[in-house]
Amino acid sequence: MALPKSLIEGHRRFLRDRHAPERGRYIQLAELGQAPTAMVIACCDARVDISAIFDTEACELFILRNVANLVPPYEPEGKYHGTSAAIEFAVQVLKVPHLIVLGHSRCGGVAAYRQKVRDKVPERGFIGSWLTMLDNLKIDESEIFEFGDETAFEFAAIRSSLANLRTFPFIKKPEKEALLTLHGLHFDLASGAVLALDEAKGGFTELDAA
């Protein structure tokens, strides 16, 4: 089967409307390498359009996407740690000053876990094993009351990923030295609003409320 026509046409529009007027900048980016403002760890969900949400240009964000925007704990003896490898590259090589875990509403990965669909996937399946990272999450009762079960669970998953990030020695150190800041954000698909976790106060509040 051929590549969908919409993609070929979209690429044509990219070359004409975006690349051609900024050809110099693209050539410069290719030569200078990347220096992103932040690394974003987001879900694979096709509805989460990260560049659109933050209105960013090429080179601003180093993005990693996986099922349910999860970060595993530091496991140096593991074999193929795609997520940890990307984090290591962003922090140690690119030296990004910000690390963002971006969750979202109606997350299929979280919903699948909560509905125990994972029990139906093959025993040796990848998703079932990946989603065990959602086992034993601590759900905040007041967030269930304020935001509902599903969102409170998504919030807890974001907190858990932040906690797991802090098990990496190469994150702990720059964070302590204030060279790296961790952020937990939650994007609402329907309203477009982004909530930010205030770790000092403990809750999620509107990013744009200030």
Applying CB under 5 A, which residues contact Zn ion?
43, 45, 107, 109
- Nearest to 149, CA basis, from 110, 206, 119: 110
Let me know the angle formed at the C-alpha of 188 by 65 and 17, rounded to the nearest 5 degrees: 65
Residue with smaller CB distance to Zn ion, 61 or 180 = 61
Q: In the bound complex, what is the minimum distance in angstroms from residue 33's beta carbon to Zn ion?
A: 30
Residue with smaller CB distance to Zn ion, 118 or 180 = 118
Q: In the bound complex, what is the minimum distance in angstroms from residue 37's beta carbon to Zn ion?
A: 23
Three-state SS string over 114-127 comes to HCCHHHHCCCCCHH
Residue with smaller CB distance to Zn ion, 54 or 113 = 113
Measured in residues, the chain has a length of 210
Residue pair 34/62 in contact (Cβ under 8 Å)? The answer is: yes
What single DSSP character describes residue 168? S
Residue with smaller CB distance to Zn ion, 45 or 143 = 45
Q: In the bound complex, what is the minimum distance in angstroms from residue 194's beta carbon to Zn ion?
A: 15
Q: In the bound complex, what is the minimum distance in angstroms from residue 42's beta carbon to Zn ion?
A: 8
